[in-house]
Structure formats: structure tokens, C-alpha cells
Structure 1
Amino acid sequence: MDWIVTASLSAVLSAGAALTQKKALATLDTAPFCFALTAAVALLSLPLLSGAAAVPNDAVWVVLAKSVMQAAAFWCVMSALKHADISAALPLLAVTPALTALIAWGAIGERLSGSEWAAMALIVTGAASVERTRAAGRPAPSMSKGLRYVGAALVIYALTSVTDRYLLTQRALHPLSLLFWQHLCAAVIFAGMMLVRRVPFPSFASVPAPLRWMIALTALLTIGYRYTEYDAMRYAPAALVLSVKRTSVIMAAAAGGRLFREPRTGIRVAGALLIVAGGFLFLL
């Protein structure tokens, strides 16, 4: 059961990374931040590769495809954090089990058990509590835009939920190798995005020192939560590991709502609890 401890540590580090991401995105636009962070993660994880095996030849294309989808999902999540409250955006990312089950039910006719329908009800109720962003009788203006990014990220995560475990177990890819190559590919993708959109690359000197330290801290937290997540997946099914890791949205919603003085944090945290509980119920 050591994987539970590892996955729980991943959840704590992931919540910390979400808070520093939100803080940095208050200053940087989404594309430059995504490039800076993924490049920093690749750079800082490079010295750790000395004991890690190379990517097997027959897994290279899988890693590349996974990296492209992961970069797209990451950009969507960062865009959601940029445009919406952290206590509203992050809990909605935990509805992936319900989305996956609903797709299977509608597309291939897979039957859902009574406990799975109950889990679906919990997740939908929690999501509805989080999504209701009315404060003082007026809707939050940025939430609808943030929700679109969350929805796109959910679809991508639903499609890639088992790829990591396949690479780590079936292809015996070392967690550090997957971490490095995935973020290196993402950095190249974000650099290309900035070039196409003609977004200027901020020079190192132009970035304030506190922001540089914030990006470095976020990169270290990212390395920590990704490595522990991948390591846990080597010993337990992806669904179990991700269910434990999803508790990070509760921590991030509670801490972020207080730190950034967001409205209705209590209701949103309660909604996040229902969503995470529904995710666990799917596993019974």
C-alpha cells in the first residue's frame, strides 16, 4: 500500500503547484508561462536522468503523442486558472471519471451499476455547486470562459488517462524519463505556439526576480508531483492513483480561495468534496 502514500504526496505537491501557478499567471500571459514552466521542468529534471533508461524505440511515438495531448491539456488548465477562480476551476477537473463513464455509456452502450449512477449523481451535484458562481446576484464574468477551457482539458484527460500507466508498466519507461521528455516536448510546442502567434519571448532580465523564483518553485513542485504520480502508477492502476491524487483539488480550492480572497469558497470546497467522493465511489 506504499502507493497510497506516494499518491497522497503527489496530491499535496500538486495543490502547492496550483497555488504558485495561479500566482504567476496574475503577471504572465498563459503561453509565456507555459513555455517558461515546461522549459524549467525539463532543465531541472535533466540532471536526474543519469540513472534512468532511455525511451524504447517502439515507445517514442507514444511518448510524442502523449506529450502533445498533455501540452494541450496543460494549456487549457492554465488558461482556466488565468480566467477563473482557482476554487471554481480546479474542482471541475476532477469530474473525469463521470465523463469517461458517460462517454462509454453513450458511445458503446456500457451499462452502469447502481453505485456508478450514485457516483455520477454525487459528481454532478458537486459540479453544480462549484459552477454556480453568482455573487451578490451577478454572475462572475470570467467563469464561462474558464469553463470552456476546463471542458477541453477534461476531454483530453479522459482520452489519455491510461497512457501513462501503459508507458510505465508495459514499456518499462522510467518515471524520470517520461517526466523529462514530456516537458521538453511541451516546451518546444509552446515555443512554436508563441512564434506562430507572434508572442514575444520575455528576456530573463525583464522578468522580475520574485517571478523567476515563483517559476522555479513551481517547476520543482511539478517535478515532485509528477514523479510521485508516475511512481505510484507503477504499482497500482491509474484509476486508483488518480482518485487519490484528485484530493489535491480540495486542498487547492480551500487554500486558494482563502489566499486569493475568492467568493463562495466554502460552497465550492463542499462541491469539490462531493466530486472527489463520487470519483472514489466509481471504484467500488
Structure 2
Amino acid sequence: MQGLSWQGWAVLSAVFAALTAIFGKVGVENVNSDFATFIRTGFIIVILAGFLAVTGQYQPLGAIPRNTWVFLGLSGVATGASWLCYYRALQLGEAARVAPIDKLSVLLVAVFGVLFLGERLSGLNWVGVALIAAGAVLVAIKATPG
């Protein structure tokens, strides 16, 4: 797995994100969605701590630049808010319709990447982003089976 490309890692991320929706939907059936997020976070901390211990990837906390702390902290706040909203949505809606709306983040990442990180997307890339957004909306619409 060491030689896996960014595309390979992205595909694995998509697989695990899909499993997150399915397992999460079942997991929030009998518990408050905010508490479910807390339980999930505990598992993540334990798993990552074990992973870092096994792979020897711990780093001295004092060696991490202040700017890194600020942005990782902001990322953590955004992640926590996202998870709270996601689990609440899963508790209230169908996983097959919640997850695609959550993936509208693809559109937002593209826009934010251009606005804040100076990234550039081609016309074809923007068409792809628009198709992802359109697909998410179409999947989320509750239509009566015909």
C-alpha cells in the first residue's frame, strides 16, 4: 500500500466513506446522533493512536509549527461540525439520499480551492464538478417509483 497513488488512496477513501454512511445509518437507530458522533470519534482516536504506535509515526508536538496547529484545529472544528450534521441527517433521512448531498462538498472544495488556494480547474473539470452536483441533487430527490 506504500506505493499507492493519490488516485488509489482517493478510491479507498470513497469506499470507506460509503461504509461510513451505511454503518452510521444503522448505528444511529437507537442513540442520539450527537452521542453517536462522540462514540465514533472515540473509535477514531483509539485506532489512529494504535496506527501511529505501530508505524512509529508520532512526532514531537513542540516541533509542529503554530500555523499547522491553527489550520489543523480549524480542520478539526469543521470535521466535528460536519460529522454532527451528517449523523443528524442520517438519523432523519435515508443513507442513499443523505450521502450524495454530503458529496456536494466536491463542488464546494472546487470553488474554495480556486478562491482560497489559487488552484485552477479546466472547463472539463468544471463540467465534471457540475455533473457531480447535478447527480447529488437528482439522487436526493424523493421520487415515487414508477
Shorter-chain TM-score bucket reads: 0.7 to 0.9
Could you tell me how far 1:271 is from its partner in structure 2? 0.7
What does residue 6 of structure 2 align with? 146
Match of 1:164 among 14, 18, 24: 24
Match of 2:45 among 178, 187, 200: 187
Q: Which runs of 5+ in 2 are unaligned?
A: none
What does residue 173 of structure 1 align with? 31
Identity of aligned residues (%): 22
Count of residues in correspondence between the two structures: 138
Corresponding residue SS for 2:62: coil
- Alignment TM-score, normalising by the size of structure 1: 0.44
In the alignment, structure 1 residue 239 sits paired with structure 2 residue 96: yes
What does residue 70 of structure 1 align with? none
Report the AA paired with residue 53 of structure 2. L
Q: Distance in 2 between matches of 1:176 and 1:278?
A: 28
Corresponding residue SS for 1:202: coil
Q: Distance in 1 between matches of 2:96 and 2:107?
A: 18
Q: Distance in 2 between matches of 1:207 and 1:156?
A: 29
Which structure has more relative contact order (CA 8 Å, sep 6+)? It is: 1
Q: Distance in 2 between matches of 1:232 and 1:160?
A: 13
Alpha carbons of 1:175 and 1:268: their partners in 2 closer, same or farther (altered >3 Å)? same
Spell out, residue by residue over 1:221-280, the C-alpha distance to the aligned partner (whole angstroms, 9 max, x if none): 111111111112222112222222221110111211343333325532321110232233
Aligned partners of 1:250 and 1:273 also within 8 Å: yes
Match of 1:276 among 117, 133, 138: 133
Spell out, residue by residue over 1:128-152, the C-alpha distance to the aligned partner (whole angstroms, 9 max, x if none): xxxxxxxxxxxxxxxx811111112
Q: Which runs of 5+ in 1 are unaligned?
A: 1-143
Q: CA RMSD in A?
A: 2.2
Spell out, residue by residue over 1:146-180, the C-alpha distance to the aligned partner (whole angstroms, 9 max, x if none): 111111222233344322121212xx222222222
